[in-house]
Amino acid sequence: MSDRYTLFANSALGRLLAKNLGLPMPLNLDRFQPGMPVISGAVLLGAAPGGQLTGAAASTLNNIQAEVHTYAQDQVTKIATASGLNAKVWNPEVDTEQKFKALIFDASGITCSDDLVQVYHFFHPVMRKLAECSRIIVLGRTPESCDTPRQATAQRALEGFIRSLGKEVKKGGAAQLVYAAPGAEDQLESSLRFFLSPRSAYVSAQVVRISACTTKAKLDWAKPLAGKVVLVTGASRGIGEAIAKTLARDGAHVIGLDIPALADDLRVVTSLIGGSALALDITAADAPLKIAEHVKAHHGGVDIIVHNAGITRDKTLANMTQQQWDMVMNINLSSEERINDALLAAGVIRDNGRIICVSSISGIAGNMGQSNYGMSKAGVIGMVNSMAPILFAKNITINAVAPGFIETQMTAAIPFAIREAGRRMNSMSQGGLPIDVAEAIAWYASPASSGVNGNIVRVCGQSLIGA
Ligand SMILES: NC(=O)c1ccc[n+]([C@@H]2O[C@H](COP(=O)([O-])OP(=O)(O)OC[C@H]3O[C@@H](n4cnc5c(N)ncnc54)[C@H](O)[C@@H]3O)[C@@H](O)[C@H]2O)c1
Protein backbone atom coordinates (compact mmCIF):
# COMPACT_ATOMS: atom_id res chain seq x y z
CA MET A 1 0.00 0.00 0.00
CA SER A 2 1.64 3.28 -1.01
CA ASP A 3 1.64 6.23 1.35
CA ARG A 4 0.91 9.07 -1.10
CA TYR A 5 1.19 11.76 1.58
CA THR A 6 4.78 10.78 2.44
CA LEU A 7 5.68 10.90 -1.27
CA PHE A 8 4.06 14.34 -1.54
CA ALA A 9 5.61 15.70 1.68
CA ASN A 10 9.05 14.81 0.30
CA SER A 11 8.54 16.85 -2.89
CA ALA A 12 9.65 20.52 -2.99
CA LEU A 13 6.05 21.81 -3.02
CA GLY A 14 4.94 19.28 -0.40
CA ARG A 15 7.74 20.27 1.97
CA LEU A 16 6.81 23.94 1.66
CA LEU A 17 3.09 23.34 2.19
CA ALA A 18 3.55 20.90 5.06
CA LYS A 19 5.88 23.33 6.84
CA ASN A 20 3.64 26.38 6.41
CA LEU A 21 0.44 24.55 7.34
CA GLY A 22 2.00 22.73 10.30
CA LEU A 23 1.24 19.31 8.75
CA PRO A 24 3.20 16.14 9.61
CA MET A 25 6.60 15.97 7.87
CA PRO A 26 7.37 12.28 7.32
CA LEU A 27 10.95 11.93 6.11
CA ASN A 28 12.10 9.15 3.77
CA LEU A 29 13.81 6.97 6.37
CA ASP A 30 17.30 5.54 5.77
CA ARG A 31 16.94 1.78 5.22
CA PHE A 32 19.65 -0.85 5.03
CA GLN A 33 20.87 -2.19 1.69
CA PRO A 34 23.40 -5.07 1.50
CA GLY A 35 26.95 -3.77 1.40
CA MET A 36 26.20 -0.65 3.42
CA PRO A 37 28.38 0.13 6.45
CA VAL A 38 26.66 -0.15 9.84
CA ILE A 39 26.71 3.62 10.15
CA SER A 40 27.65 6.45 7.80
CA GLY A 41 28.66 9.49 9.80
CA ALA A 42 30.31 10.52 13.04
CA VAL A 43 29.50 9.00 16.43
CA LEU A 44 29.88 10.86 19.73
CA LEU A 45 30.76 8.53 22.61
CA GLY A 46 30.50 9.54 26.26
CA ALA A 47 30.05 8.10 29.71
CA ALA A 48 29.14 9.01 33.25
CA PRO A 49 32.07 8.47 35.64
CA GLY A 50 32.42 4.80 36.56
CA GLY A 51 30.65 3.54 33.40
CA GLN A 52 31.28 -0.17 32.87
CA LEU A 53 29.91 -0.50 29.34
CA THR A 54 32.07 2.08 27.55
CA GLY A 55 34.63 -0.58 26.59
CA ALA A 56 31.96 -2.77 24.97
CA ALA A 57 30.61 0.22 23.02
CA ALA A 58 34.13 1.29 21.96
CA SER A 59 35.00 -2.23 20.85
CA THR A 60 31.87 -2.43 18.64
CA LEU A 61 32.60 1.01 17.21
CA ASN A 62 36.12 -0.16 16.41
CA ASN A 63 34.82 -3.36 14.76
CA ILE A 64 32.46 -1.38 12.50
CA GLN A 65 35.19 1.19 11.75
CA ALA A 66 33.10 4.10 12.93
CA GLU A 67 34.37 7.66 13.00
CA VAL A 68 34.31 8.32 16.74
CA HIS A 69 34.46 11.57 18.67
CA THR A 70 34.51 12.18 22.42
CA TYR A 71 34.33 15.25 24.61
CA ALA A 72 37.64 16.04 26.33
CA GLN A 73 36.93 13.34 28.93
CA ASP A 74 39.97 11.34 30.06
CA GLN A 75 38.10 8.25 31.15
CA VAL A 76 36.34 7.82 27.78
CA THR A 77 39.36 8.72 25.64
CA LYS A 78 41.50 6.16 27.49
CA ILE A 79 38.94 3.37 27.04
CA ALA A 80 38.45 4.29 23.37
CA THR A 81 42.20 4.17 22.74
CA ALA A 82 42.50 0.83 24.55
CA SER A 83 39.80 -0.53 22.21
CA GLY A 84 41.85 0.47 19.18
CA LEU A 85 39.84 3.59 18.33
CA ASN A 86 41.52 6.73 17.12
CA ALA A 87 38.84 9.00 18.58
CA LYS A 88 38.87 12.75 17.91
CA VAL A 89 38.11 15.17 20.72
CA TRP A 90 35.11 17.38 19.96
CA ASN A 91 34.74 20.81 21.51
CA PRO A 92 31.20 22.07 20.84
CA GLU A 93 32.26 25.68 21.31
CA VAL A 94 35.04 25.50 18.72
CA ASP A 95 33.86 23.04 16.08
CA THR A 96 30.32 24.29 15.58
CA GLU A 97 29.88 22.73 12.11
CA GLN A 98 30.20 19.11 13.23
CA LYS A 99 27.13 16.85 12.72
CA PHE A 100 26.61 13.47 14.40
CA LYS A 101 24.83 10.43 13.04
CA ALA A 102 24.83 8.75 16.44
CA LEU A 103 25.28 9.49 20.12
CA ILE A 104 26.15 6.75 22.59
CA PHE A 105 26.16 7.48 26.30
CA ASP A 106 27.18 4.92 28.91
CA ALA A 107 25.05 5.71 31.97
CA SER A 108 25.88 2.47 33.78
CA GLY A 109 28.09 4.29 36.30
CA ILE A 110 25.19 6.39 37.61
CA THR A 111 24.29 5.22 41.12
CA CYS A 112 21.93 7.93 42.41
CA SER A 113 19.45 10.45 41.07
CA ASP A 114 21.77 13.43 41.71
CA ASP A 115 24.20 11.98 39.17
CA LEU A 116 21.57 11.84 36.42
CA VAL A 117 22.69 15.38 35.59
CA GLN A 118 25.53 13.62 33.72
CA VAL A 119 22.94 12.70 31.11
CA TYR A 120 22.13 16.38 30.66
CA HIS A 121 25.82 17.31 30.39
CA PHE A 122 26.40 14.80 27.60
CA PHE A 123 23.30 15.38 25.50
CA HIS A 124 22.52 19.09 25.91
CA PRO A 125 25.44 20.51 23.85
CA VAL A 126 24.90 18.09 20.97
CA MET A 127 21.12 17.94 20.44
CA ARG A 128 21.23 20.56 17.67
CA LYS A 129 24.08 18.72 15.93
CA LEU A 130 22.18 15.64 14.83
CA ALA A 131 22.18 14.48 11.22
CA GLU A 132 19.03 13.11 9.55
CA CYS A 133 17.94 9.61 10.69
CA SER A 134 20.28 9.85 13.66
CA ARG A 135 20.60 7.26 16.41
CA ILE A 136 20.74 7.83 20.15
CA ILE A 137 21.67 4.97 22.46
CA VAL A 138 21.86 5.12 26.24
CA LEU A 139 23.50 2.14 27.94
CA GLY A 140 22.46 1.30 31.48
CA ARG A 141 22.42 -1.41 34.11
CA THR A 142 19.26 -3.52 34.30
CA PRO A 143 17.47 -1.96 37.32
CA GLU A 144 16.58 -5.40 38.73
CA SER A 145 20.30 -6.19 38.95
CA CYS A 146 21.31 -3.03 40.84
CA ASP A 147 22.86 -3.26 44.30
CA THR A 148 20.91 -0.45 45.97
CA PRO A 149 17.43 1.06 45.61
CA ARG A 150 19.03 4.42 44.74
CA GLN A 151 21.03 2.91 41.90
CA ALA A 152 17.96 1.02 40.61
CA THR A 153 15.91 4.23 40.80
CA ALA A 154 18.48 6.20 38.80
CA GLN A 155 18.82 3.46 36.17
CA ARG A 156 15.03 3.13 35.86
CA ALA A 157 14.77 6.90 35.39
CA LEU A 158 16.67 6.57 32.10
CA GLU A 159 13.56 5.02 30.57
CA GLY A 160 11.56 8.24 30.85
CA PHE A 161 14.47 10.19 29.42
CA ILE A 162 14.80 8.01 26.34
CA ARG A 163 11.05 7.86 25.67
CA SER A 164 10.93 11.66 25.79
CA LEU A 165 14.02 12.09 23.65
CA GLY A 166 12.44 9.79 21.05
CA LYS A 167 9.79 12.46 20.59
CA GLU A 168 12.37 15.25 20.32
CA VAL A 169 14.73 13.73 17.74
CA LYS A 170 13.00 14.83 14.58
CA LYS A 171 14.05 14.08 11.01
CA GLY A 172 13.72 10.30 11.25
CA GLY A 173 15.92 9.95 14.33
CA ALA A 174 15.49 7.22 16.94
CA ALA A 175 16.48 6.80 20.59
CA GLN A 176 16.87 3.54 22.56
CA LEU A 177 17.85 2.38 26.03
CA VAL A 178 19.90 -0.80 26.27
CA TYR A 179 20.17 -2.30 29.76
CA ALA A 180 22.94 -4.84 30.29
CA ALA A 181 22.94 -7.20 33.25
CA PRO A 182 26.28 -7.62 35.08
CA GLY A 183 28.43 -9.93 32.96
CA ALA A 184 26.52 -9.15 29.73
CA GLU A 185 29.17 -6.70 28.45
CA ASP A 186 30.31 -9.19 25.80
CA GLN A 187 26.73 -9.64 24.52
CA LEU A 188 26.12 -6.04 23.44
CA GLU A 189 27.54 -6.00 19.92
CA SER A 190 24.60 -7.41 17.93
CA SER A 191 22.20 -4.97 19.61
CA LEU A 192 24.50 -1.98 19.17
CA ARG A 193 24.97 -2.81 15.50
CA PHE A 194 21.20 -3.09 15.03
CA PHE A 195 20.30 0.13 16.82
CA LEU A 196 23.10 2.14 15.17
CA SER A 197 22.22 1.03 11.67
CA PRO A 198 19.37 1.85 9.24
CA ARG A 199 18.05 -1.67 9.97
CA SER A 200 16.27 -0.13 12.98
CA ALA A 201 14.62 2.57 10.82
CA TYR A 202 11.15 2.31 12.39
CA VAL A 203 12.15 1.30 15.94
CA SER A 204 12.28 4.10 18.50
CA ALA A 205 12.01 4.70 22.24
CA GLN A 206 12.51 1.04 23.06
CA VAL A 207 14.03 -0.46 26.18
CA VAL A 208 15.99 -3.68 25.69
CA ARG A 209 17.42 -5.97 28.34
CA ILE A 210 20.55 -8.01 27.63
CA SER A 211 21.33 -10.96 29.87
CA ALA A 212 24.71 -12.49 30.66
CA CYS A 213 25.36 -15.81 28.94
CA THR A 214 28.28 -17.99 28.04
CA THR A 215 27.55 -18.39 24.30
CA LYS A 216 29.92 -16.26 22.26
CA ALA A 217 29.23 -16.52 18.57
CA LYS A 218 31.99 -15.95 16.03
CA LEU A 219 30.25 -15.03 12.83
CA ASP A 220 30.43 -13.33 9.49
CA TRP A 221 28.36 -10.19 10.15
CA ALA A 222 27.44 -9.99 6.46
CA LYS A 223 25.89 -13.51 6.56
CA PRO A 224 25.15 -14.08 10.24
CA LEU A 225 22.64 -16.87 9.57
CA ALA A 226 24.83 -18.96 7.24
CA GLY A 227 24.13 -22.64 7.93
CA LYS A 228 20.97 -21.93 9.95
CA VAL A 229 17.52 -23.38 9.24
CA VAL A 230 14.55 -21.10 9.85
CA LEU A 231 10.82 -21.81 9.89
CA VAL A 232 8.63 -18.77 9.11
CA THR A 233 4.85 -19.12 9.41
CA GLY A 234 2.59 -17.00 7.20
CA ALA A 235 5.47 -16.55 4.75
CA SER A 236 3.53 -16.15 1.48
CA ARG A 237 2.94 -12.41 1.76
CA GLY A 238 3.16 -9.24 3.85
CA ILE A 239 5.42 -9.21 6.88
CA GLY A 240 6.07 -12.98 6.67
CA GLU A 241 7.36 -12.66 3.09
CA ALA A 242 9.71 -9.85 4.17
CA ILE A 243 10.94 -11.95 7.11
CA ALA A 244 11.61 -14.94 4.82
CA LYS A 245 13.53 -12.78 2.32
CA THR A 246 15.52 -10.96 5.02
CA LEU A 247 16.58 -14.10 6.87
CA ALA A 248 17.55 -15.70 3.53
CA ARG A 249 19.56 -12.56 2.71
CA ASP A 250 21.40 -13.14 5.98
CA GLY A 251 22.33 -16.67 4.86
CA ALA A 252 19.60 -18.92 6.31
CA HIS A 253 17.74 -21.75 4.61
CA VAL A 254 14.11 -20.65 5.03
CA ILE A 255 11.22 -23.10 5.31
CA GLY A 256 8.20 -20.95 4.46
CA LEU A 257 4.87 -22.15 5.85
CA ASP A 258 1.40 -21.00 4.88
CA ILE A 259 -2.12 -22.36 4.44
CA PRO A 260 -2.65 -24.85 1.58
CA ALA A 261 -4.88 -22.30 -0.27
CA LEU A 262 -1.80 -20.05 -0.63
CA ALA A 263 0.64 -22.84 -1.55
CA ASP A 264 1.34 -21.36 -5.02
CA ASP A 265 2.09 -17.89 -3.63
CA LEU A 266 4.24 -19.49 -0.96
CA ARG A 267 6.30 -21.41 -3.51
CA VAL A 268 6.89 -18.21 -5.49
CA VAL A 269 8.43 -16.64 -2.36
CA THR A 270 10.49 -19.65 -1.29
CA SER A 271 11.82 -20.41 -4.76
CA LEU A 272 13.04 -16.81 -5.10
CA ILE A 273 15.19 -17.24 -1.97
CA GLY A 274 16.31 -20.82 -2.43
CA GLY A 275 14.12 -21.97 0.47
CA SER A 276 11.48 -24.67 0.78
CA ALA A 277 7.72 -24.55 1.20
CA LEU A 278 5.49 -26.30 3.73
CA ALA A 279 1.77 -25.84 3.00
CA LEU A 280 0.00 -26.38 6.28
CA ASP A 281 -2.73 -24.84 8.42
CA ILE A 282 -1.11 -24.25 11.81
CA THR A 283 -4.42 -24.81 13.57
CA ALA A 284 -4.77 -28.38 12.24
CA ALA A 285 -4.57 -30.90 15.07
CA ASP A 286 -1.61 -32.71 13.50
CA ALA A 287 0.25 -29.53 12.40
CA PRO A 288 2.70 -29.33 15.36
CA LEU A 289 3.80 -32.94 14.88
CA LYS A 290 4.04 -32.56 11.10
CA ILE A 291 6.27 -29.50 11.52
CA ALA A 292 8.51 -31.32 14.02
CA GLU A 293 8.77 -34.34 11.68
CA HIS A 294 9.42 -32.14 8.63
CA VAL A 295 12.33 -30.22 10.16
CA LYS A 296 13.81 -33.43 11.57
CA ALA A 297 13.51 -35.40 8.32
CA HIS A 298 14.70 -32.67 5.93
CA HIS A 299 17.18 -30.69 8.02
CA GLY A 300 17.95 -32.73 11.13
CA GLY A 301 16.39 -29.92 13.21
CA VAL A 302 15.67 -26.21 13.17
CA ASP A 303 17.54 -23.20 14.54
CA ILE A 304 14.97 -20.43 14.41
CA ILE A 305 11.16 -20.44 14.51
CA VAL A 306 9.32 -17.25 13.57
CA HIS A 307 5.66 -17.29 14.60
CA ASN A 308 4.39 -14.67 12.17
CA ALA A 309 1.05 -16.11 10.89
CA GLY A 310 -1.79 -14.06 12.31
CA ILE A 311 -5.24 -12.78 11.48
CA THR A 312 -7.72 -10.15 12.59
CA ARG A 313 -11.51 -10.58 12.81
CA ASP A 314 -12.48 -7.17 14.16
CA LYS A 315 -15.88 -6.62 15.77
CA THR A 316 -16.97 -5.07 19.04
CA LEU A 317 -17.47 -7.86 21.54
CA ALA A 318 -21.26 -7.46 21.41
CA ASN A 319 -21.20 -8.14 17.66
CA MET A 320 -18.50 -10.80 17.61
CA THR A 321 -19.36 -14.41 16.84
CA GLN A 322 -17.65 -17.18 18.79
CA GLN A 323 -16.16 -18.39 15.52
CA GLN A 324 -14.40 -15.00 15.08
CA TRP A 325 -13.17 -15.20 18.66
CA ASP A 326 -11.94 -18.79 18.35
CA MET A 327 -10.17 -18.34 15.00
CA VAL A 328 -8.13 -15.38 16.18
CA MET A 329 -7.17 -16.97 19.49
CA ASN A 330 -6.28 -20.25 17.85
CA ILE A 331 -4.15 -18.91 14.99
CA ASN A 332 -2.50 -16.04 16.88
CA LEU A 333 -1.75 -17.75 20.18
CA SER A 334 -2.82 -21.33 20.96
CA SER A 335 -1.30 -22.89 17.82
CA GLU A 336 2.03 -21.15 18.60
CA GLU A 337 2.02 -22.71 22.06
CA ARG A 338 1.26 -26.15 20.60
CA ILE A 339 4.02 -25.83 17.98
CA ASN A 340 6.57 -24.74 20.60
CA ASP A 341 5.59 -27.65 22.83
CA ALA A 342 5.88 -30.17 19.98
CA LEU A 343 9.25 -28.86 18.78
CA LEU A 344 10.66 -28.82 22.31
CA ALA A 345 9.27 -32.28 23.10
CA ALA A 346 10.83 -33.65 19.89
CA GLY A 347 14.14 -31.97 20.79
CA VAL A 348 14.50 -30.53 17.29
CA ILE A 349 15.35 -26.93 18.24
CA ARG A 350 19.12 -26.79 18.02
CA ASP A 351 21.56 -25.29 20.53
CA ASN A 352 21.58 -21.46 20.54
CA GLY A 353 18.09 -21.67 19.02
CA ARG A 354 15.56 -18.88 18.68
CA ILE A 355 11.79 -18.60 19.03
CA ILE A 356 10.60 -15.26 17.69
CA CYS A 357 7.00 -14.11 17.97
CA VAL A 358 4.99 -11.37 16.33
CA SER A 359 2.77 -9.57 18.83
CA SER A 360 1.18 -6.17 18.14
CA ILE A 361 0.77 -2.80 19.82
CA SER A 362 -2.91 -3.83 20.07
CA GLY A 363 -1.71 -6.43 22.57
CA ILE A 364 -0.09 -3.64 24.60
CA ALA A 365 -2.60 -0.82 24.28
CA GLY A 366 -5.81 -2.62 23.32
CA ASN A 367 -7.92 -1.46 20.43
CA MET A 368 -11.63 -0.85 19.85
CA GLY A 369 -13.12 -3.86 18.05
CA GLN A 370 -10.09 -6.04 18.75
CA SER A 371 -10.88 -7.75 22.06
CA ASN A 372 -10.02 -11.10 20.46
CA TYR A 373 -6.91 -9.84 18.63
CA GLY A 374 -5.64 -7.72 21.57
CA MET A 375 -6.11 -10.68 23.88
CA SER A 376 -4.24 -13.06 21.57
CA LYS A 377 -1.34 -10.63 21.08
CA ALA A 378 -1.10 -9.86 24.82
CA GLY A 379 -1.03 -13.62 25.30
CA VAL A 380 1.98 -13.77 22.97
CA ILE A 381 3.74 -11.31 25.31
CA GLY A 382 2.78 -13.50 28.26
CA MET A 383 4.19 -16.52 26.44
CA VAL A 384 7.51 -14.72 25.86
CA ASN A 385 7.73 -13.51 29.45
CA SER A 386 6.90 -16.87 30.97
CA MET A 387 8.99 -19.04 28.67
CA ALA A 388 12.09 -16.83 28.53
CA PRO A 389 13.74 -18.10 31.74
CA ILE A 390 12.83 -21.73 31.01
CA LEU A 391 14.23 -21.63 27.47
CA PHE A 392 17.32 -19.63 28.46
CA ALA A 393 18.39 -22.56 30.63
CA LYS A 394 18.34 -24.68 27.43
CA ASN A 395 20.35 -22.02 25.51
CA ILE A 396 17.30 -20.98 23.46
CA THR A 397 15.95 -17.41 23.44
CA ILE A 398 12.39 -16.22 22.97
CA ASN A 399 11.51 -12.63 22.06
CA ALA A 400 8.73 -10.78 20.28
CA VAL A 401 8.30 -7.79 18.06
CA ALA A 402 5.16 -5.70 18.50
CA PRO A 403 4.52 -3.94 15.20
CA GLY A 404 2.52 -0.74 15.03
CA PHE A 405 1.06 0.42 11.72
CA ILE A 406 2.84 -1.52 8.98
CA GLU A 407 1.91 -1.09 5.29
CA THR A 408 0.47 -4.52 4.33
CA GLN A 409 -2.74 -6.05 2.99
CA MET A 410 -3.92 -6.26 6.62
CA THR A 411 -3.70 -2.48 7.12
CA ALA A 412 -4.82 -1.66 3.56
CA ALA A 413 -8.21 -3.13 4.57
CA ILE A 414 -8.66 -0.55 7.37
CA PRO A 415 -11.15 2.29 6.53
CA PHE A 416 -9.37 5.41 5.15
CA ALA A 417 -9.77 7.81 8.12
CA ILE A 418 -8.66 5.25 10.71
CA ARG A 419 -5.82 4.15 8.42
CA GLU A 420 -4.53 7.75 8.06
CA ALA A 421 -4.71 8.27 11.85
CA GLY A 422 -2.80 5.02 12.46
CA ARG A 423 -0.14 6.03 9.96
CA ARG A 424 0.52 9.51 11.32
CA MET A 425 0.12 9.05 15.09
CA ASN A 426 3.77 8.28 15.77
CA SER A 427 7.04 10.14 16.10
CA MET A 428 7.91 9.46 12.44
CA SER A 429 4.51 10.52 11.01
CA GLN A 430 4.37 7.49 8.72
CA GLY A 431 3.64 3.78 8.66
CA GLY A 432 6.45 1.25 8.78
CA LEU A 433 7.32 -1.27 6.08
CA PRO A 434 7.35 -5.08 6.40
CA ILE A 435 11.16 -4.92 6.09
CA ASP A 436 11.31 -2.89 9.34
CA VAL A 437 9.70 -5.77 11.26
CA ALA A 438 11.89 -8.28 9.40
CA GLU A 439 15.10 -6.45 10.33
CA ALA A 440 14.19 -6.54 14.04
CA ILE A 441 13.54 -10.26 13.70
CA ALA A 442 16.91 -10.72 11.98
CA TRP A 443 18.56 -9.02 14.97
CA TYR A 444 16.84 -11.42 17.41
CA ALA A 445 17.74 -14.34 15.10
CA SER A 446 21.46 -13.58 14.97
CA PRO A 447 23.68 -16.17 16.67
CA ALA A 448 25.31 -13.15 18.35
CA SER A 449 22.02 -12.25 20.11
CA SER A 450 22.20 -15.06 22.67
CA GLY A 451 21.88 -12.57 25.52
CA VAL A 452 18.78 -10.94 24.02
CA ASN A 453 16.01 -12.85 25.75
CA GLY A 454 12.48 -12.10 26.93
CA ASN A 455 12.24 -8.76 25.11
CA ILE A 456 9.20 -7.19 23.49
CA VAL A 457 10.37 -4.57 21.03
CA ARG A 458 7.83 -2.35 19.35
CA VAL A 459 8.39 -1.62 15.67
CA CYS A 460 6.03 1.34 15.57
CA GLY A 461 7.95 4.58 14.99
CA GLN A 462 7.10 5.36 18.66
CA SER A 463 3.37 5.19 18.12
CA LEU A 464 1.28 7.29 20.48
CA ILE A 465 -0.98 4.26 20.93
CA GLY A 466 -0.07 2.52 24.15
CA ALA A 467 3.00 4.73 24.57
N1 LIG B 1 0.29 -5.22 9.32
C2 LIG B 1 0.36 -4.64 10.50
O3 LIG B 1 0.28 -3.42 10.62
C4 LIG B 1 0.56 -5.47 11.74
C5 LIG B 1 0.62 -4.81 12.97
C6 LIG B 1 0.83 -5.55 14.11
C7 LIG B 1 0.99 -6.92 14.04
N8 LIG B 1 0.91 -7.56 12.84
C9 LIG B 1 1.09 -9.01 12.85
O10 LIG B 1 2.06 -9.36 11.89
C11 LIG B 1 1.80 -10.67 11.37
C12 LIG B 1 1.77 -10.62 9.85
O13 LIG B 1 0.77 -9.68 9.47
P14 LIG B 1 0.55 -9.22 7.95
O15 LIG B 1 0.12 -7.79 8.02
O16 LIG B 1 1.71 -9.58 7.11
O17 LIG B 1 -0.74 -10.10 7.60
P18 LIG B 1 -1.14 -10.86 6.27
O19 LIG B 1 -2.59 -11.14 6.40
O20 LIG B 1 -0.69 -10.10 5.06
O21 LIG B 1 -0.31 -12.21 6.36
C22 LIG B 1 -0.57 -13.19 7.34
C23 LIG B 1 -0.16 -14.54 6.79
O24 LIG B 1 -0.47 -15.53 7.77
C25 LIG B 1 -1.05 -16.65 7.07
N26 LIG B 1 -1.93 -17.45 7.93
C27 LIG B 1 -3.11 -17.05 8.48
N28 LIG B 1 -3.67 -18.10 9.11
C29 LIG B 1 -2.84 -19.15 8.97
C30 LIG B 1 -2.90 -20.50 9.41
N31 LIG B 1 -3.95 -20.97 10.10
N32 LIG B 1 -1.88 -21.33 9.09
C33 LIG B 1 -0.82 -20.88 8.37
N34 LIG B 1 -0.73 -19.60 7.94
C35 LIG B 1 -1.73 -18.74 8.23
C36 LIG B 1 -1.85 -15.98 5.98
O37 LIG B 1 -2.24 -16.91 4.97
C38 LIG B 1 -0.93 -14.90 5.50
O39 LIG B 1 -0.04 -15.34 4.53
C40 LIG B 1 0.48 -11.10 12.01
O41 LIG B 1 0.74 -11.92 13.13
C42 LIG B 1 -0.13 -9.80 12.43
O43 LIG B 1 -1.05 -9.96 13.51
C44 LIG B 1 0.70 -6.86 11.69
What number of CA atoms fall less than 13 Å from residue 181's CA on the CB side?
A: 10
Q: Is 71 a catalytic residue?
A: no
Q: What is the mean pLDDT of residues 379-383?
A: 98
Q: At 449, give phi and psi (nearest 5°).
A: -100, 30
Is ligand 1 within 6 A of the CB of residue 275?
no
Is ligand 1 within 6 A of the CB of residue 191?
no
CA distance linking residue 270 with residue 278, whole number of Å? 10
Q: Is the separation of the CB atoms in 68 and 237 below 8 Å?
A: no
Q: At 51, give phi and psi (nearest 5°).
A: -60, 135
Q: What is the mean pLDDT of residues 329-348?
A: 98
Per-residue pLDDT tens for 260-300?
999 999 999 999 999 999 999 999 999 999 999 999 999 99
Does 428 have pLDDT greater than 70? Answer: yes
Longest dimension (CA), the chain: 69
- Give distance in angstroms: CA of 32 to centre of ligand 1: 24
Q: Where are the domains of the chain?
A: 31-210, 229-459
Contacts of 92 (CB under 8 A, 6+ apart): 98, 125, 126, 129
Of the pLDDT bands very low, low, confident and very high (cuts 50, 70, 90), residue 416 is confident
pTM score, whole prediction: 0.96
Is ligand 1 within 6 A of the CB of residue 432?
no
- Of 69-83, 306-320, 325-339, the one with minimum mean pLDDT is 69-83
Which one has a higher pLDDT value, 108 or 16? Answer: 108
Per-residue pLDDT tens for 156-170?
999 999 999 999 998
- Among 27, 37, 42, smallest CA distance to 131 is for 42
Q: What is the mean pLDDT of residues 330-335?
A: 98
396-403 and 349-358 beta bridge pairing: parallel
Closest ligand 1 atom to 406 CA: 3
Q: What is the mean pLDDT of residues 178-195?
A: 98
- Give distance in angstroms: CA of 239 to centre of ligand 1: 7
Does 210 have pLDDT greater than 70? Answer: yes
Q: Give the pLDDT of residue 5.
A: 73
Question: Which of 231, 259, 265 for a ligand 1 pocket mutation test, highest count of atoms within 8 Å of Cβ?
Answer: 259
CA distance linking residue 168 with residue 162, whole number of Å? 10
Question: Which of 264, 268, 406 for a ligand 1 pocket mutation test, highest count of atoms within 8 Å of Cβ?
Answer: 406
Q: Give the pLDDT of residue 218.
A: 83
Catalytic one among 5, 71, 179, 373? 373
DSSP structure class, residue 72: S
CA distance linking residue 204 with residue 462, whole number of Å? 5
Percent of the chain with pLDDT over 90: 86
Helix (H, G, I), strand (E, B) or coil at 258: strand
Closest ligand 1 atom to 281 CA: 32
Take atom 3 of ligand 1 and give the residue whose Cα is closest. 406
Decide whether 31-210 matches 229-459 in CATH topology.
yes
CATH of 31-210, one of 3.40.50.720, 3.10.580.10, 3.20.20.70, 2.40.50.140: 3.40.50.720
Q: Give the pLDDT of residue 1.
A: 53
Of the pLDDT bands very low, low, confident and very high (cuts 50, 70, 90), residue 11 is confident
- Give distance in angstroms: CA of 318 to centre of ligand 1: 25
Q: Which fold has domain 229-459?
A: Rossmann fold (3.40.50)
Closest ligand 1 atom to 409 CA: 20
Does 442 have pLDDT greater than 80? Answer: yes
Closest ligand 1 atom to 235 CA: 39
Q: What is the mean pLDDT of residues 37-65?
A: 97
Q: What is the mean pLDDT of residues 202-230?
A: 95
